[in-house]
Amino acid sequence: MSQDATDAGAAGTAGAGRDPAMGAVGTAGPSRDPGGDESLPEVFWSVARLLRETSHEALAPWDITPSAFRALRVLGRLGAMRLSELSEHLRIAPRSVTEVVDTLESRGLAERRPDPADRRATLAELTEHGASVLDAIRAARGTEAERVFGRLSATDRVHLARILRKLRD
């Protein structure tokens, strides 16, 4: 997500016609930390920016974009698939997935092959090199995640994960 989209999302949380002093929908008070001056959305987007920066830092040694990493993850998790399926999983336009796969293929991380079920279709799949790079990136991102989330107790991590899943779903 772009910084503009992130800021727009944060700005959009106030809601048109809603009293800015009010908290989240259905709450009776401001959504401000009693010990701070940031609202819940401000803190949330601040942490999201931190995580995005941390992710970029973790990907830097491989000179790989977040969208290419997402494609690697999907191919690593689900195996070979048509470009149209990959496009759906990544929620990007088919022409964009073609560019992502072109990039991965040029770096030896993925390859295209004919779909045995339909000669007109093409499958994308990870190469062995792509799988090893994916494993290395996951390890680096795990280290970075530990640096960020290591400040939380195990109980706090469980609660945060539960809350984030609830917001996501």
- The residue to which tokens 């990136």 are assigned: 137
Q: pTM, whole model, 2 decimals?
A: 0.71
Average pLDDT over residues 76-90: 97
Sorted by where each starts, the structural domains of the chain and their CATH numbers stand as 55-169 (1.10.10.10)
> Which pLDDT belongs to residue 37?
80
Residue 164 has pLDDT above 60, yes or no: yes
35 pLDDT tier (thresholds 50, 70, 90): low
> Which pLDDT belongs to residue 26?
42
pLDDT tens sequence across 99-144:
999 999 999 999 999 999 998 999 999 999 999 999 999 999 999 9
**Nearest residue to 97 (alpha-carbon basis) of 106, 88, 107:** 88
> Which pLDDT belongs to residue 34?
61
Average pLDDT over residues 40-68: 93
CB 158 within 8 A of CB 166: no
Average pLDDT over residues 59-71: 94
> Which pLDDT belongs to residue 29?
46
Whole-number mean pLDDT of the chain? 84
Instruction: Output 132 or 10, whichever has higher pLDDT.
Output: 132
